A and B are shown apart, each in its own frame.
Chain A
Amino acid sequence: MMTAQAKTIAVVGSTPFAWFLAGLLATDHSRAVVLVTNPCPPGHEATLPSLSVAPLTRPETLSLLVKYGPGAARQTNRIARGAAGRGDLALTAHGAASGAALSHIRHMLAGFGRVVEPLGAPAGTTRVRVRDVWQFHAAPFLAAAPAWLAGANAAMVNAASGLKLRKDGSASFGATPVDLVVLADDAAIVSRLAEAEVAAFAARVAHLDIATEPVAPLATPSIIDLDGGAQLAQDASGRLIGSAQDSDGRGLARITAALPEGVATRLAARGRSTRLLPHDGAPVLGPTRKNRLYVVAGLGRCDMALAPLVARLIVGKATPAEAEWAAAHGAELRQPRANVADFAPEWAGAA
């Protein structure tokens, strides 16, 4: 079945993106939606905000972020006041390779009209600031989203409930048939697809997520370190939320290295997760080869900004250019997808 023909869609996932996608399919595209999700886990408030900008080098992807990011922000703010806000993003490179990548990213973002400014940094380090990036905050969105979903008649069911999957991508809840199942976060993909199937497009990478004690306001509330991919963001209470790949046990060192000069704090919370890192650093979306489950992976922190696009792709309302972009990023393609490969700072540490 073409995904566009699907009238009843099950979205499996517990992230804000999964919830947002489910709601968009129900509200904007009039699909009957079942959101299969876990209860909000404790400590979920310490989640990095999604962004409308990422350190990408492919103009096709960046153009989609430019197109869909502001609208996604407006929509999330309608769902939950304050769920999206603007802030600056700092991108830092310490080495020659990452420095070259940062230079490419800087020109690319400037080409799309973003204000990108050089920032002072120690010798050997390059740092730029991207102005006015939309940041999608998980906590207010997750708090308000159930009411929004209920208003759109999107049913929320516990992930533990019995969802039976078929190879054609359809499924059923007891006697209720579902035309299409969308695996909308890494945990859903890992739990529902065979290991080899996942390995075809992405690697499982251990991640460390932390929160710190509050610090004084940072000059830029979001930071991405292009060497190793550590990411930091300061929340409203002054805490720093950090995340880095930790497959070699050096995740905390990566996060520490991403701290701005002069900032010192203490570890306050720590969590571990397994994330999917596409082999070529580019998003993966579409039906898989072996079964027809629709997977969405590798969007990183641009997931919320691209959610409206993903919803349009699923229901077949994308423009030809968007459909072409999606086809190039399809999950059923054999690796490597050389023409879409993007800069993936996390691979520096995971290699």
Chain B
Amino acid sequence: MVGSEGCDTQAVGRRRFYLACIYGLSTIMGMALAVPAAVYLLFPPRSRKEDQWVEAAELSQLEVGVPEEVVFRHNRVDGWKISSEKTSAWVLKKSDTEVVAFAPQCTHLGCAYRWEESKKNFLCPCHTSNFDIEGKVIDGPAPRPLDRYLVRIEGKKLFLGPIQKSPEA
């Protein structure tokens, strides 16, 4: 029957419209929730003030040519918390105007390494990575030289800034 066929096409059209609206509107709402949530979870917080300079040591108390572990306090911004915590650096005074400060973690898996005075190199006890006095890898699994702090000397005081990652060897 012709009449009922006309009715059917009308019904099919209406059904198609309903489906388009249901899926379309649901998708828009899903995106409107998912995108802000992804941004919220993935974007870094806005004001990070971690690149502050901290006074770490008196230059006169460092011996030239011998790496020394210097412990100092710095403010760590951790989410909604700013905490003052102890941290350290292996500092090598080359002269009164040139100082190198290594970050205290091995570049392999973040263990604390130490200076072996007898061998004149840095040794990481975890997987026996060895670094020379300039922080370069001698042997072991470490993928790159020791990371360094930015260093500034003001008068007789040593200031340390943020840690700079060393490039992969």
Indicate whether A and B interact.
no
Interface residues of B (CB under 8 A from A): none
Interface residues of A (CB under 8 A from B): none
